[in-house]
Each structure stands twice: as C-alpha cells, then as structure tokens.
Amino acid sequence: METRELICINCPMGCNLTVQIEEGEVVSVTGNTCPRGKTYGISEVTHPVRMVTSIIPVENGEIPMVSCKTAVPVDKNKMFEIIEALAKVSVKAPVHIGDVVLADAAQTGVDVIATKEVAASSL
C-alpha cells in the first residue's frame, strides 16, 4: 500500500489529504472536507491537471496586455511547454473574452482563451 500526502488546492481551506493507493488504484482519500477534495486527490495521483494562466501582449489595444487561460485544465507535465508557447504569442485588439489566442496549446488539444475584453486604442 502506497500513501500520498497532498494539500487540496481547490479552495483556501487547503485540506490535508491522505490518498492510499494499492496496485495503481486509489483505494481511499481521507482528510477532505468536501467531495471536491476526494476528486482532486484521485486526479492528482492518477492524472494530475492544472489550469494554465498567463498574460500576453495586445497590439493596438487600449491596454498593452490581456489575461488568458487554458479552456480546461491540462496535463500538469504540459504546463511549461504551454507557457513557453504563450511567450511567442501576441494578439491584435479588439480582444473579446473567449477569443482563442493559442489553438491546440502544446498539442494538448486544448485552446488558450482570452479572459478579458480589450478594446482597440482610440489613439
């Protein structure tokens, strides 16, 4: 039996989770205060995922940068590859929430989308 100690990152309570694994299968999650902790504990030891957030430059925007995030959480091992790809990306204003700023980020099949409206500069 393998035991993993984790901290749930789904809310500020940061519950201490204990996940027990037997022959590659999660057999129990304890320490969670709510069901999200159990789901997180199982996911973290079987297929850890993270939402990737960043900011990228906006050309001709009323502000110079726009925030963005992956549309859904992605494989944790792909995070840095996605961040590296985003370092080469810029968009032209106007930018709308949900606009795809990077399609199929790092071949994950997941798009990175804008999370803020940026109007074109009036100057």
Q: Are strands 53-59 and 91-92 parallel, antiparallel or unpaired?
A: parallel
CB closest to ligand SF4, residue no: 37
Site for ligand SF4, residues 5 to 34, rule: CB under 6 A: 8, 10-11, 13-15, 32-34
Q: Rank residues 26 and 58 by Cβ distance to ligand SF4 and give the closer one.
A: 26
Residue 36 interacts with ligand SF4 (CB under 6 A): yes or no? yes
Query: Cβ(120)–Cβ(88) under 8 Å?
Result: no
Stretch that binds ligand SF4, among 4-12, 57-65, 68-76, 84-92 (CB under 6 A): 4-12
Q: How far apart are CA 9 and CA 37, in angstroms?
A: 8
Coil/strand/helix, residue 34: coil
What are 59's strand-pairing partners?
Answer: 92
Which residues make up the interface to ligand SF4 (CB under 6 A)? 8, 10-11, 13-15, 32-34, 36-37
